[in-house]
Amino acid sequence: MAKIAPPAPRSISSTDRAAGIPETIRVLIADDKTLFRDGLSNLVAAQPDLAVVGTVDGAATANEQLKFIQPDIVLLGWSIATPASQRIFGAIHDGKLQTRVILLIPDDGKEDVVEAVRLGCCGVVPRSTSTELLLKSIRKVHAGEIWLDRASTADVIRRLTKKGAGNVAARQGIREHGAALSTREREIVGLIAQGFKNKDMAERLFISEQTVKNHLHNIFDKLGVSDRLELALYAIHHKLHEGA
């Protein structure tokens, strides 16, 4: 069963913005456990800057409603390994939607956080997290940031460190919070951690995409990371993204 609200305006008027009224963040909730889903819906709906625009309990309707509603945020309660979750990310990618996904994971730590982020997940929140942190994660992810709780971040960093054991010497040389990075490289690291693409960074920094790629190549070499995910997680772990 799916509960659906018709699409609401995605922006506020200039008058409201001038008056300091925040934009409403439109949230779709996908979870097959009725009690949890309904409780989450009531919690989110009680916030003045958040609106629940739909809830779904199965994959059959999830993609259809995702495309119809085009929410800002999806709170995804299915495991990242399920076909239903895979289709959610596929629909977002194929439809070029601006929707950002927050994965709600069980407390046993068995969820594959690395795979979730690789698929495009922008936030990972344990089901037992506090109300305050859950609401904060929604607002932070909507603002363009990546949200990982401390346990997930620590686990991912350990896994990436094991995978890249051959780069230990290179990593040890830059443990002082990215001291080897230039000011421009630090800016790019911060933007990567916030989910910016090369084109977006080029426009924001008034440089070419090729220059961004050159900087990224140098950053990968200096930090001993192999891709954007490792760089983003490294930045978050070492707080290189703060103040970006």
Angle subtended at Cα 202 by Cα 238 and Cα 115, rounded to the nearest 5 degrees: 50
What is the per-residue pLDDT for 63? 86
The CATH number assigned to the domain with range 165-237 reads: 1.10.10.10
d(CA 93, CA 227): 20
3-state secondary structure of 25: strand
What is the per-residue pLDDT for 72? 96
Question: CATH second-level architecture of 2-154?
Answer: 3-Layer(aba) Sandwich (3.40)
Using a 10 angstrom Cβ sphere, with 0-12 exposed, 13-18 middle and 19 or more buried, the burial of residue 202 is: middle
What is the per-residue pLDDT for 7? 42
Please check the confidence at residue 100 and state whether its pLDDT lies above 80.
Answer: yes
What is the per-residue pLDDT for 45? 96
What residue segments make up the domains of the chain, in order of their start?
Answer: 2-154, 165-237
Mean pLDDT score, 145-174: 59
Query: Which residues are 29's β-sheet partners?
Result: 55, 75
How many CB atoms are closer than 10 A to CB 39?
Answer: 11
pLDDT in tens, 52-90: 999 998 877 888 888 899 999 999 999 998 988 988 998
Confidence of residue 131 (pLDDT cuts 50, 70, 90): very high
| CA-closest candidate to residue 101, choices 111, 199, 90 | 90
- By the 8 A CB rule, do 189 and 177 touch? no
pLDDT in tens, 160-206: 555 544 444 444 444 444 558 899 998 998 888 777 888 889 999 99
- By the 8 A CB rule, do 32 and 14 touch? no
- How does strand 100-105 pair with strand 50-56? unpaired
